[in-house]
Structure 1
Amino acid sequence: MKIPDKVRIGGIDYAVEYENRLMNGGGQGLRGQISYSNATIKLDPNAQDEQGKKQTLLHEIMHGIAEHFDLPVRTDEDTIDKLAKGLYMVIVDNPDMFKSDD
């Protein structure tokens, strides 16, 4: 799995960017953050290794999907994190499944 420059969620292209020392409104450090209003997903490159960045990207994508479909888990960090880690394992363990037939 590679980290793209952008990812489409619900018909909206989200730019994937890197930003050092991401913080939430309360001053707590974050590994990643999605902004629906700016259509961006930011990853902190120094807060994690490459595998962590990929898992964090999937975590933020899961937030985007949950928000798009108005799912009740959209703010449930624990559930979103478990779904993202599970999806990451499927992608890593089955790489051929995600290759184009073209």
Structure 2
Amino acid sequence: MKLPSNIKIGGINYTVEEKETPDNNPQCYGVCVYHDTHIEVKSNLSDERKGQTLIHEMLHGIFFEAGFEEHDEEVVNRVSSVLYQVLKENDLGLT
């Protein structure tokens, strides 16, 4: 899966990078870095896992840009899994 190089969240441009070790943590699949406006996704994941991870990190960016300081990781995990499936399996004609 080729990830987009940029994503706009709340009017802010976030760059998207594939990295061998996101956040310098071997167990980490991805990270959203708010102060530097970029998202890192682990490069050796399956295509589906990369997509899920990108949606997960985008949700963190959305919550941050919407002014939420606390992000309940369980909520982000649950919503990102369902949102990934909805976006992948439906032609919403939004473009």
What is the TM-score of this pair, normalised by structure 2? 0.86
The match for 2:39 is 41
- Which structure is larger by alpha-carbon Rg, 1 or 2? 1
User: Is there any run of 5+ residues in structure 2 with no aligned partner, and where?
Assistant: none
| Counterpart-to-counterpart distance in 1, 2:75 and 2:18 | 24
The 8 Å contact of residues 91 and 98 in structure 1, kept in 2 or not, is answered as no
Structure 1: runs of 5 or more not aligned: none
User: For residue 87 of structure 2, what is the aligned residue in structure 1?
Assistant: 91
Identity of aligned residues (%): 33
**Partner residue, 1:32:** 30
How many pairs align? 95
Cα distance between partner residues in 2 of 1:8 and 1:15: 9
The 3 A distance-change label for structure 1 pair 63 and 40 is same
C-alpha RMSD of matched pairs (Å): 2.1
TM score, norm. by length of structure 1: 0.81
Q: Spell out structure 1 runs of 4+ moving beyond 6 A.
A: none
Report the residue type matching 1:79 in the other structure. Answer: V
2:17–2:39: 8 Å Cα contact kept in structure 1? Answer: yes
